[in-house]
Amino acid sequence: MFEFNIIAADLNCSARTGAFQTPHGSFETPAFMPCGTKGSVKTLTPDELKNLGCEIILANTFHLMLRPGGEIVEKMGGLQRWIGWDGPMLTDSGGFQVFSLSKLRKINDEGVTFQSPLDGATHLLTPEKSIAIQEQLGADIIMAFDECPPADAEKSAAKKAMERTHAWALKSLKAKQRKDQALFPIIQGAIYPDLRKESVRYITGLDAPGYAIGGVAVGETKEQMREVMETVCPLLPKEKPRYLMGIGEPDDMLAAIACGVDMFDCVAPTRLARHGSFWNNHGRHDITKKEFSVSDQPIQSDCECYACSRFSTSYLRHLIIEKEILGARLLTIHNLHFLIDLLRQSRKAIEAKTFQTFSKKFLSEFYAKER
């Protein structure tokens, strides 16, 4: 039902390509998973995502728990049927969201008590409840409940969060009943190498179908993030997929791929689009800048996405400034295409054993304006 096969590896680094089989089909790795937080990747239809080359998407347990509730999604036949997506899906545990509500929650060994940001109602989210909700939602890959400490956590606090994450991973595994879902436990330990190594030893000892690296993109520097990857990845089983949570900047993904990471997710491409920003081969740009007002060129000349093949930068700028929904849709299409295509090119380079050369060339162009 679940099978991960490594297809190619670049012997010059740890980059590899693979395919992960799920009950709703297979997806190629390295893979980027667009975030369908509340059951929808913002502004796009499932068919548009398929046309972009997207093979797997993510939904958010926390938000779907609050509204409409896991029981309603279950009655409607599960996430895939409810949202009209026939491919693989992943749901997070809800842990990151409740821990981000620092003024609205209290943590103990049982779970997290928090106030809903929607109506102020009090909820208790435990490992057992998180798994029960994810089983109602019915995604192919589900996540163990964990505690995600902030980047500036003292070592004692990071250690306590790690130990709680370990205990909750065990509870999550014991609570899981559905055999058609793969549960990934999460490695924590903040920026402390010895804690990360301890966490890897414990989490991989649970013999799960895949492993996630959590506690990154929470305020640490890029150098610290990469130190975490370089510490953790060599210790993970090569035959299991590796998921780096919350990462979606092009340079961070390339660095992670070189370390052997297989899966990514991030709200960045859709969030940036809604705020008028886009990526191209020469970096990240704010389309509202005056210099784009009379540009009759697409935002990326060699891009084949719908936005670039049909519209000028000048027109896209106009849509964003006027707050037309079409502007956010078109930039979302482009940003997602950009990341999905970057990983497609990465897979091709890995197969050709030229990933490091490809990555170096991409980054030299991407950061050219900063030099």
So which residues are the catalytic ones? 92, 265
Q: Which residues of 255-281 are buried (b: 16+ CB within 10 A; e: fewer)?
A: bbbbbbbbbbbbbbbbebbbebbbbbe
Return the ∠ at Cα 340 (arms to 184 and 299), rounded to 5°: 145
Length of the chain: 371
Place of tokens 């079409």: 326
Q: Which two tokens stand for residue 338?
A: 């950009």
Q: Which has the closest alpha carbon to 143: 89, 90, 98, 188?
A: 90
What is d(CA 184, CA 190) in angstroms, rounded to the nearest whole number?
Answer: 18
> What is the C-alpha separation between 312 and 128, in angstroms, rounded?
51
Cα separation, 150 vs 152, in Å, equals 5
Question: Structure tokens of 215?
Answer: 């506690």
**Which secondary structure element, helix H or strand E, spans residue 357, and what is its range?**
helix 355-366
Backbone angles phi, psi at 286, to 5 degrees: -100, 110
**Backbone φ, ψ for residue 36 (5° rounding):** -100, 70
Tokens 């997070």 belong to residue: 92
**Peptide bond connecting 68 to the previous residue in cis, omega within 30 degrees of 0:** yes
